[in-house]
Amino acid sequence: MPLTDYEIVVGLEVHAELSTRTKMFCSCPNRFGAEPNTQVCPVCLGLPGALPVLNREAVVRAARAGLALHCPIAAFNKFDRKQYFYPDLDKAYQISQFDLPVCGKGHLEADVETSTGTVRRRFGITRIHMEEDAGKLLHSGAAQIGGSESSLVDYNRAGVPLIEIVSEPDLRGPEDAEAYLAALKEILRYLGVSDCNMEEGSLRCDANISVHRPGTPFGTRVEVKNMNSFKNVGKAIVSEAQRQVALIESGGVVTMETRAWDAERSETRAMRGKEEAHDYRYFPEPDLVPLELDEAWVEGVRRGLPELPEAKRRRLEAEHGLPAYDAQVLTESAELADYFEAVVRAGAQPKAASNWIMGELLAALKRLGLGVAEAPVAPGALAAMLKLLDSGVISGKIAKTVFEEMVSGGGDPAAIVERMGLTQVTDSGAIDGFARAAMEAHPAVVAEYRGGKTAGLGFLVGQVMKLSKGKANPALVNEALKRLL
Amino acid sequence: MEPHELTLTQASGMLASREASSVELTRAALGRVEAADPRVRAFVTVDAEGALAAAKDADARRGRGEAGPLLGVPVAIKDNLSTRGLRTTCSSRMLEPYVPPFDATAVARLKAAGAVVLGKTNLDEFAFGSSTENSAFGPTHNPWDLARVPGGSSGGSAAAVAAGFGFGALGSDTGGSIRQPAALCGVVGLKPTYGRVSRYGLVAFASSLDQVGPFGRTVADAAALSQAIDGHDPLDSTSAPRAVPDYAAALPRGVKGLKVGLPREYFVSGIAPEVAAAVRTAVESLAAMGAEVREVGLPHTEHCLSVYYLLATAEASSNLARFDGVRYGFRAPASGVVAQAMRTRAEGFGPEVKRRIMLGTYALSSGYYDAYYRRAQQVRTLIARDFEAAFREVDVVATPTSPTTAFRLGEKADDPLTMYLSDIFTISANLAGLPALSLPCGFDAAGLPIGLQLIGRAFEEPTLFAAGHAYESAHGWKDRRPAL
């Protein structure tokens, strides 16, 4: 199938749940994973007479996302009712923004992995609007409501604030889509706008996909829903493009429709056609007043923006002389980068700090299933340990022991060294003693060395370290053995 | 004087002077309901037990030294205002079993002021109507003539106050639903400025037009209720964050120098001659007390009715979409969730509700929005501008409240368009968001009350109370009681 004769054109619609403390229009907690229908009130249950009141924090977060994506923030915006019937939609309308969204056109840059290497590309953002989430249906007896024996509704998610970020049809394939989503996720997490957890549904993505021969107008687009990971977005794009190309090649015509991605079968299947498309009957939400965001307010949000990952990477490389790889790893989350900088501020060498964070710290966190914020070793403590290592009080090997002790709650590194008697032995008399003992125990190795086979030195150093329980300074041991041999 | 003949102000005075306890007044009111409501049918639900408990509590509060004009005063609540633990039906089969877990803000404020809730009053289903005939639980009868309608949609509240079932009531007004029944039942009713009273807990009909307001036997009674319920509510984004003036202090201000406008567009054909004459006489009486009367123009008046029926039905179609049988209220079981929703709505809603949902859904449909909804919003702005212009010349606009006095039950029931015309004079105040007061200004030859409507500038309720109080103090209309 000549997919290569065609160009794939993709636009993405990303829904991100905002990580506010409370819901969009009421004071219920915005919390994932609670017992069903415990985070609800008359407002988010849509009880008769209950009214929405806009969450200020949600607007701040939406504006943050907009500013980070280079979008203008609308001075005047309003909310509209998007009307459709579904049991998880308590009011039978979703409060959304139709024609006057909070953010206008912007763009996002991302590093795309291509066959010829990494390319930095810019993708247009069409708009960002605010809306509320719906509840969640739990079916028994079938995967969807049709055919289920019974379906339960959990309204904990009803009214959770969302932003929908709509891209221009600027993406040209699965690589672009995955890079776009990764860059977007990183920015939203850095901004504290959203957790972007696809498994928990706090990030969701729909794709508008079409194909055309380069130089001809864009083809008819098909909306594909229901992808639950970045990888699946990429797979769905390829699969849907192949379906469209096959259709065109066999003389068929692509029709505008909505399809669902079936991850198990790795294919898209028809959901509803154009003629079944909803008429959402949008109209201005009369229960909310229009929202005016003046320049001073927008500037306040702009001033509160944290440093974004790209800028942070460049700064870490420049300020601390870190290799690009280290800067990339350390900026994977704002917390990790903050941790690194705190360790450096506390007096550690940047590269040593980076090595220990990327190696021992991340390994320990992974093992314990903890986030950086809950790291059992405070940045100051790690810096103190690195200083002990740097000044020769402990060896690199001992440092690992000390670090493990710190991870298991051992406290201050100097105290651990003291308590466990781990101070490096630098006394030449003591080291000479260990060296002599090792030589006496292994006369054959000594004889070989003296006969010219110097490879035995490493073995003897190991023996001395063993005798000293790892505390002897390796450089001094080397020196003593060479002298005595 | 029998307890049920008292005004709220008089009852409040008796409570303050300990001539009567709240329990006594509440028992008397419940007795009056028991005796006369089988004929009037003002109530959907009477909560005798809850009322007596609240009365005891009010007496205890007074015993602890608390005071206040509503402490211990029995009142009635329209059944589209949510009452915690007391079913709120909207006179619809759809909500017949629905018991709200919270009080509407207006109700909560009345309770906090010590008012005793006797029960919930009948209305046109979901407030869609002008006669209280569109109730799933049967019509309410006008206490002045039981063969006639009390007006609507707050007909139950208006009839309750006229019949002496308590000393005041709350209603809601989207296009005249407080003022028109007040006029037809010979009581005082106020549609406050949009944003003056919280809508939280009022089951929405048309959100941009709905306001909660009071019924009283006198202007002072209505003002006392307004004083308790008015003011900003953080739970309603459309409620105004403005201080509430002292209404009692405004009452004796009089009308000297008050500029009263008579809109020439409102005295046209279709208005009953006796109604027009009574309103003109009332305005002459205001002039005799020192007001300056002049004619004003409200040129877009003829479009009010069509604008209203587009906007109100559009919003209603959306507001009533949530009644699907999934979460609360009535459910007609069927196989499949769509079938269940369709059957629930087919069986749960009455014909007028279905008519308005269909009209509103159509007006918002893709391809029709610009021609209907958007255009109606534009004309609504012109109507509001008419009033802005008029209020540069005058302080209040005086009109009849309703073109006729109470009509017979069933007379207009099969003719929705004629029925819609009974709101012709009241709709403009909702479209423009202005306060409007209806008060009795006479009786026709059949002994049926006639209402005078005074429309004021936004948030100038005190001016309306002052003018209304001056007028009613000079006439004896407020002292007449229906023979029941």
The pLDDT value given to residue A128: 98
Chain B residues with CB under 8 Å of A26 CB are none
Among residues B63, B87, B79, B93, the alpha carbon closest in space to that of B153 is found at B79
Answer for the pair B282, B442: CB distance below 8 angstroms, yes or no.
yes
**Average pLDDT, stretch A220-244?**
95
Chain A residues with CB under 8 Å of B322 CB are 46, 48, 90-92
Please report the DSSP string for A349-398 in residue order: -HHHHHHHIIIIIHHHHHHHT--GGG-SS-HHHHHHHHHHHHTTSS-HHH
* Residue in chain A nearest B316 by alpha carbon: A286
* ipTM for this prediction: 0.96
Q: Nearest CA to CA, how far is A53 from chain B (Å)?
A: 6
Chain A residues with CB under 8 Å of B200 CB are 49-51
Chain A residues with CB under 8 Å of B338 CB are 85
Choosing from B12, B153, B198, B402, the catalytic residue is B153
The pLDDT value given to residue A2: 62
Cis omega (within 30 of 0) for bond into B153: yes
Rounded Cα distance between A262 and A241, Å, is 15
CB pair distance less than 8 Å for B337 and A48? no
Please write the tens of the pLDDT for every residue from A133-192.
Answer: 999 999 988 777 777 888 899 999 999 999 999 999 999 999 999 999 999 999 999 999
Answer for the pair B236, B105: CB distance below 8 angstroms, yes or no.
yes
Rounded Cα distance between B212 and B195, Å, is 10
Among residues A194, A157, A202, A195, the alpha carbon closest in space to that of A39 is found at A157
Instruction: Name the region of A24 (left: φ>0; alpha: ψ -120 to 50; beta: rest).
Output: alpha
Chain A residues with CB under 8 Å of B206 CB are 286
The pLDDT value given to residue B360: 97
Please write the tens of the pLDDT for every residue from A34-84.
Answer: 999 999 999 999 999 999 999 999 999 999 999 999 999 999 999 999 999
**Average pLDDT, stretch A311-324?**
92
The pLDDT value given to residue B157: 98
SS3 A144: coil
CB pair distance less than 8 Å for B324 and A279? no
Exposed (0-12), middle (13-18) or buried (19+): which is A290, by Cβ within 10 Å?
A: exposed
Say whether B153 is catalytic: yes
Q: Nearest CA to CA, how far is B24 from chain A (Å)?
A: 33
Domains of chain A (ranges, CATH numbers): 3-297 (no CATH), 307-419 (no CATH), 428-484 (1.10.10.410)
Say whether B285 is catalytic: no
Choosing from B12, B22, B78, B120, the catalytic residue is B78
Across the interface, which of B81, B82, B322 has its CB nearest the CB of A90?
Answer: B322
Chain B residues with CB under 8 Å of A158 CB are none
Between the alpha carbon of residue B14 and those of residues A111, B69, B479, the distances in Å are 81, 11, 18
What confidence category does residue A4 fall into, taking pLDDT thresholds of 50, 70 and 90? confident
Can you give the pLDDT of all 484 residues of chain B as single tens digits? Answer: 788 999 999 999 999 999 999 999 999 999 999 999 999 999 999 999 999 999 999 999 999 999 999 999 999 999 999 999 999 999 999 999 999 999 999 999 999 999 999 999 999 999 999 999 999 999 999 999 999 999 999 999 999 999 999 999 999 999 999 999 999 999 999 999 999 999 999 999 999 999 999 999 999 999 999 999 999 999 999 999 999 999 999 999 999 999 999 999 988 778 999 999 999 999 999 999 999 999 999 999 999 999 999 999 999 999 999 999 999 999 999 988 889 999 999 999 999 999 999 999 999 999 999 999 999 999 999 999 999 999 999 999 999 999 999 999 999 888 887 788 888 899 999 999 999 999 999 999 999 999 999 999 999 999 999 999 999 999 999 899 999 8
Buried b (16+ CB within 10 A) or exposed e, B338-374: eebbbbbbeebbbebbeebbebbbebbeeeebeebbe
Rounded Cα distance between A465 and A438, Å, is 10
Q: Nearest CA to CA, how far is A276 from chain B (Å)?
A: 14
Rounded Cα distance between A261 and A204, Å, is 13
Please write the tens of the pLDDT for every residue from B78-134.
Answer: 999 999 999 999 999 999 999 999 999 999 999 999 999 999 999 999 999 999 999
Across the interface, which of B101, B337, B361 has its CB nearest the CB of A281?
Answer: B361
Q: Nearest CA to CA, how far is A220 from chain B (Å)?
A: 22
SS3 A226: strand
SS3 B442: strand
Chain A residues with CB under 8 Å of B327 CB are 45-46, 90, 153
Q: Nearest CA to CA, how far is B198 from chain A (Å)?
A: 10
Residues of B with CB under 8 A from a CB of A: 81-82, 88, 90, 95, 98, 100-102, 104, 199-204, 206-208, 234-238, 314-315, 318, 321-322, 324, 326-328, 336-338, 341, 361, 364-366, 369, 373
Rounded Cα distance between A130 and B374, Å, is 23
Q: Which tokens go with A267? A: 């294919």
CB half-sphere exposure, B209, CA atoms < 13 A = 30
Torsion, Cα B212 B215 B216 B220, to 10 degrees, reads 30
Answer for the pair A105, A126: CB distance below 8 angstroms, yes or no.
yes
Exposed (0-12), middle (13-18) or buried (19+): which is B228, by Cβ within 10 Å?
A: buried
Rounded Cα distance between A268 and B126, Å, is 45
Instruction: Name the region of B437 (left: φ>0; alpha: ψ -120 to 50; beta: rest).
Output: beta
CB pair distance less than 8 Å for B201 and A83? no
Across the interface, which of A42, A279, A288 has its CB nearest the CB of B237?
Answer: A288
Domains of chain B (ranges, CATH numbers): 3-253 (3.90.1300.10)
Q: Nearest CA to CA, how far is A134 from chain B (Å)?
A: 13
Rounded Cα distance between A23 and B128, Å, is 33
Rounded Cα distance between B364 and A86, Å, is 19
Q: Which tokens go with A288? A: 């909310």
Query: Residue A283 CA to chain centroid, in angstroms?
Result: 36
**Average pLDDT, stretch A441-452?**
85
Q: In DSSP terms, which residues pair with B120 in a beta bridge?
A: B45, B77
CB pair distance less than 8 Å for B237 and A287? yes
Q: Which tokens go with B123? A: 């209305």
Q: In DSSP terms, which residues pair with B213 in a beta bridge?
A: B171
Q: Which of A26, A56, A84, A85 to mutate to test the interface with B (most CBs of B within 10 A)?
A: A85
Q: Which of A40, A287, A289, A292 to mutate to test the interface with B (most CBs of B within 10 A)?
A: A287
Please write the tens of the pLDDT for every residue from B149-206.
Answer: 999 999 999 999 999 999 999 999 999 999 999 999 999 999 999 999 999 999 999 9
* Residue in chain B nearest A152 by alpha carbon: B326
Answer for the pair B127, B319: CB distance below 8 angstroms, yes or no.
no
Instruction: Count CB pairs under 8 A between chains A and B.
Output: 100
* Residue in chain B nearest A55 by alpha carbon: B237
CB pair distance less than 8 Å for B366 and A52? no
The pLDDT value given to residue A436: 86
* Residue in chain A nearest B103 by alpha carbon: A49
Q: Nearest CA to CA, how far is B336 from chain A (Å)?
A: 7
Please write the tens of the pLDDT for every residue from A465-477.
Answer: 888 777 777 778 8
B211-216 and B188-191 as β-strands: parallel, antiparallel, unpaired?
Answer: antiparallel
CB half-sphere exposure, A109, CA atoms < 13 A = 9
